[in-house]
Structure 1
């Protein structure tokens, strides 16, 4: 029982960090689109890779561990639990893959280009993509919270 409590704590803590930081960075990237500051933009992209990706991975691993530990794998589950497992897992994997791949490309482009317009485009892309993922995370959280049958 102790392990399931630890996994639940990691799952909820990771979700709180992931969603909270995603909302904050969405707002910050939107501001940076209008007033681009290359050093702050680089810091924010590093935060996405180092903080948000780790938090998302923590949610994925702890969620998988909970499903395995509690014996829910392969069983008929209520819709909300299946949705959390499948949609939540898909959102996490897409988030990690997209932002890891794009961050490397965009950081290289940002370091090479000193144009103000380039930084604005990059910040706009991040704001949009981060906003979409924030809505997706919140959607999964809503379905799970309401425990829709």
Structure 2
């Protein structure tokens, strides 16, 4: 059971991180063309489609991580890396789900009404990039078992 949970955890992590990366890259490419109906529709679809991968995979990472930690039965004297994975990783996942969901819907709303004007996406892109850096930081700490 632990091996299957580890598989789900890693697969969810790769899918989540890849989806966030795809949103950032594609929106940066589309940023200069925004303002036309076609470009705005494409940007909304990019956010919608990759969010459909990112949010469920983040939930899978959270659930599989909790199950694995419960199965380990370590107790209160956990090493730092495990504590960081449990508390830091869980907090990052929950914050990412809430913030990217809210900011993504705001950007999609702006794209719907923003014909022929400059559409601000810098806050959304910065948030996604920040979460990618935080995710990779937790992975680094856990993989080096600091």
- TM-score with structure 2 length normalisation? 0.88
Whether the 8 Å CA contact 1:29–1:126 is kept in 2: the answer is: no
Any gaps of 5 or more consecutive residues in structure 1? none
Provide the aligned length of Structure 1 versus Structure 2.
142
Report Cα offsets for 1:50-84 as digits up to 9, x if no partner.
11011111100100011112223x42111001001
Q: In the aligned structure 1, how far is the partner of 2:30 from the partner of 2:134?
A: 23
Unaligned regions of 5+ residues in structure 2, if any? none
Name the Cα RMSD after superposition.
Answer: 1.5
Q: Residues 81 and 62 of structure 1: is their aligned pair in 2 closer, same or farther, counting only changes over 3 Å? A: same
**8 Å contact kept, 1:7–1:66:** yes
Structure 1 runs of 4+ aligned residues shifted over 4 Å read none
CA contact (8 A) 2:104 2:124 kept: no
1:48 offset after TM fit, Å? 4.2
- Work out which structure has the larger RCO, using CA pairs closer than 8 Å and 6 or more positions apart in sequence: 1
Structure 2 counterpart of 1:42: 44
Partner of 1:24: 22
Shift in Å, 1:30: 1.7
